[in-house]
Chain A
Amino acid sequence: MNVGPVGRFTFSGGVHPPENKGLTCDSQIQPGPAVKKVAVMLSQHIGAVCRPLVRKAEAVQAGQKIGDSDSFVSAPVHSPINGKVKEIALRSHAVLGRGMAVVIDALEYNPSKRSYFKLDDSFDVDNYTSEQICEAVRNTGLVGMGGAGFPTRVKIEPNPRLPKETLIINGCECEPYITCDYRIMLEWTRQIIAGIKLARKASGCSKVFIGIEDNKPRAIEVMNIALKDFGKDDRIKVVPVKTKYPQGGERQLIKAILKKNVPAGGIPPMIGVVVLNVATTAAIAEAVVSNLPLTHRVVSVTGEAIANPGNYYVPIGTSVQDLLDFCGSVTQKSAKVVFGGPMMGIAIADLETPITKATNAVTVLTKDQIGRAKFARRQTPCIRCGRCLQVCPENLNPTRIAHAVKNNLLKVAERYYMSACIECGCCSYVCPANIEVTGYIKTGKIFLARQKKKMAQ
């Protein structure tokens, strides 16, 4: 990569893991495998689980709504292919462990026919009202595609109690290996800008910042050129930010660009900010302009153990096995298959696990990448070196929290602000004793949630 603009903005803490983006950063977004069967999870997002709207043996069309919920914080799911419902059964879920899924046998599916929509020149943001945009975003089942899967409509809909001023588009992609957002920025630039304008109109924001890490100079350049071509707008600005993990965390990005801290345990709207991922922004354009539901997404299939790594536009519900077979399968005997990147991704045990709307990558890590000690999970006692404190982007005391959880002292963990942890994994990454600091904190959060649930009863 050539030397581009240098990002001055950043946050305190963070780590610099090896990027390894070279594997897939030059591979264009290609159509994915011709799947025979998909399993569309009924819970692909944060919020209420969808009810299935179809029955067993029912024929479904591509784009047909197959699950919905009346709850406000939720998003419907749609069938990506023409086919017949085989069953509605439990499938492995990357985040939840297990969840109900609608399994659909494909009648015919030609991946090269279903490509991302082209934006014609007649697009004008004034053709759509704010309500129309929100409705379209809700109906097409849009959720945050950066990893968390928060329903987008809830994010962008104007809320009189929390007025929004600033829209931040997250093009950082700070996780190692993953390049899907980078490719989207290069190839679907116009759609992203259309999406930004739509999202801005819907949410009532005025200023827009596009945060891109300075290890992607081409993306910064392309975005700047497209902004110029697409009609001048002074209120949309590309901001190069420093390359550092977790720069793409929304709290860290807000801190870097606006120099503001989101209150601990709070959400960005509390300080008038909305953060959207670039893939989500592009999907907003697709949803509003062509009214196509979110049934496909770009997934980076990457890692040294993959024969043909690349970025693929695949139907949601494709199993990991299909995806890996399509990419020339795995060359190693033992490996870790991770949904997402190596820092925050979730290792899966079942290769039939379907990808969801929030899966941005499938990373296959070999023993070499993971490191021998980490692979065998050998730990030594904490030597209190304090590295985890230095890298914590939220300025916490990770080792204290982790050891409080380990000794079942949830009160102590809370006193050290366990709930303010964003689970970025920096503390485990630097730990010389190989302690799963993040793992303990996550466990502690789950214990605490269970405790509170019991107390409420």
Chain B
Amino acid sequence: MLSDIRVSCSPHISERFSTRSVMIDVIIGLAPAMAAAVYFFRMHALMLIVACVTSCVAAEWLCNLIRKKPNSLDDFSAVVTGVILALSLPPSLPIWAAVIGGVFSITIGKMVFGGLGGNIFNPAMAGRTFLTVSFGVLMTSWTVPASIIPEMPAVAQENTLDARTQATPLAWSKLAIKNELGADIYSEQQFMATLTGEVGGCLGETSVIALLIGGIYLLIRRTINFHIPLAVLSAAFVFAGIAYLIDSYVYVQPFFHLTSGGLFLCAFFIATDPVTAPLTRRGMWVFGIGVGALTMLIRIVGEYPEGIMFSILIMNAVTPLIDRFFKRIPAGGSPNV
């Protein structure tokens, strides 16, 4: 018999989505990139990922304990932060630095703002910025993937630069800009290398194919919208193309910019972090274009070879403004009350 009558406001049914399922989806989407990272950079990559995830989870647990808040680990957002942070670290980074990054990401990047949903900046990017500023040398020394046969030349093939130490394509292209070397070494083979990931770079950003698989999974699952990735990639392409058209000797091809560096990781997994991205469609376009354009600006004009991290943080900071500026108008027009 009916003895326990529940009352609440409507609706009484809901879609079987939860914050946890959204976060688990992101982790599944990142799985190919993690696998690629472990394949290319072997044991140390795995240790970095584990270290980041563990330190993030531990930091969140400790913060909740100190703030006397209910445990929020079951929403898996700390794990996502840890994985994204690990994938944006250089493969030769010592474990202790990764742990520091993870703790910073969660405590200063997220928990001081009140936990999930309250943070202004992407926690993983905040942690990475902290590491870049603190340990500049460690964060810019790259090792080549373990799968590369020593005889096989890396990207900077016909170049005088040593491919072993200056292995990332972007660092090389930066040098090309600075030293006014010829940038037209972009061959089919190198393009293939940036697609599969057999180049130097951060853990998760080298293999474009793995990132694309994960991104498409997220798009199919409707965990992310196509607006931000499309805006980031197309804006980056357009701005790189403009630079290329201005001086094709110094500046590399736009396709090169698209596939090298962390652009795909950023477009599908970092810029789409819902907490720090705008809510409205038009806002998403503006946000994505801003990220893409700023990244290119830093890559081409700025001092750093890679600009993803800073452009994300800058656009995160303007997200509230974008949201306020691109307000939605009701279907029936704004009422004149």
List A contacts of B12 (CB < 8 A). Answer: 336, 338, 342-343, 345, 347, 365, 369-370, 374
With an 8 A cutoff between CB atoms, is A375 at the interface?
A: yes
User: If A261-B332, A263-B335, A420-B330 touch, does A429 touch B13 (CB 8 Å cutoff)?
Assistant: yes
Whether A400 and B279, one on each chain, are in contact in the complex, defined by CB atoms closer than 8 angstroms, is yes
How long is the Cα–Cα vector from A400 to B283 in the complex, in angstroms?
Answer: 15
CB distance from B10 to the nearest CB of A (A): 5
Whether B16 and A371, one on each chain, are in contact in the complex, defined by CB atoms closer than 8 angstroms, is yes
User: If A265-B332, A347-B6, A348-B7 touch, does A370 touch B13 (CB 8 Å cutoff)?
Assistant: yes
Other-chain residue from A12, A344, A373, A377 in contact with B10 (beta carbon distance below 8 A): A344
* Chain A residue, CB-CB nearest to B272: A385
List B contacts of A420 (CB < 8 A). Answer: 330-332, 335
How long is the Cα–Cα vector from A288 to B13 in the complex, in angstroms?
Answer: 39
List B contacts of A348 (CB < 8 A). Answer: 5, 7
List B contacts of A333 (CB < 8 A). Answer: 1-4
Other-chain residue from B6, B16, B328, B331 in contact with A251 (beta carbon distance below 8 A): B331
List B contacts of A17 (CB < 8 A). Answer: 13, 15
List B contacts of A261 (CB < 8 A). Answer: 331-333
Other-chain residue from A265, A335, A393, A416 in contact with B6 (beta carbon distance below 8 A): A335
List B contacts of A370 (CB < 8 A). Answer: 6, 12-14
Stretch from A197-205, A279-287, A433-441 at the B interface: A433-441
Q: With contacts defined as CB atoms under 8 Å apart, how many contacts are there between chain A and chain B in the complex?
A: 198
CB distance from B24 to the nearest CB of A (A): 11
CB distance from B313 to the nearest CB of A (A): 17
Interface code B201-237, partner A: CB below 8 Å = 1, 0 otherwise? 0000000000000000000000001000000000000
Interface size for chain B: under 10, 10 to 19, 20 to 34, or 35 or more residues? 35 or more
With an 8 A cutoff between CB atoms, is A430 at the interface?
A: yes
Interface code A4-27, partner B: CB below 8 Å = 1, 0 otherwise? 000000011001011000000000
User: If A389-B328, A416-B327 touch, does A347 touch B3 (CB 8 Å cutoff)?
Assistant: no
CB distance from B270 to the nearest CB of A (A): 15
With an 8 A cutoff between CB atoms, is B177 at the interface?
A: no
* Chain B residue, CB-CB nearest to A397: B328
Interface size on A, residues (CB 8 A): 77
With an 8 A cutoff between CB atoms, is B275 at the interface?
A: yes
Whether B11 and A342, one on each chain, are in contact in the complex, defined by CB atoms closer than 8 angstroms, is yes
CB distance from A326 to the nearest CB of B (A): 14
CB distance from A89 to the nearest CB of B (A): 22
With an 8 A cutoff between CB atoms, is A257 at the interface?
A: no
Other-chain residue from A338, A344, A347, A380 in contact with B19 (beta carbon distance below 8 A): A380
With an 8 A cutoff between CB atoms, is B116 at the interface?
A: yes
How long is the Cα–Cα vector from A346 to B8 in the complex, in angstroms?
Answer: 8
Interface code A41-80, partner B: CB below 8 Å = 1, 0 otherwise? 0000000000000000000000000000000000000000
Whether B279 and A336, one on each chain, are in contact in the complex, defined by CB atoms closer than 8 angstroms, is no
Whether B11 and A432, one on each chain, are in contact in the complex, defined by CB atoms closer than 8 angstroms, is no
Whether B17 and A432, one on each chain, are in contact in the complex, defined by CB atoms closer than 8 angstroms, is yes
15 CB < 8 A contacts A-B? A17-B15, A335-B6, A337-B2, A337-B5, A344-B11, A365-B13, A370-B13, A380-B75, A383-B22, A383-B275, A395-B328, A395-B329, A414-B337, A428-B11, A432-B18
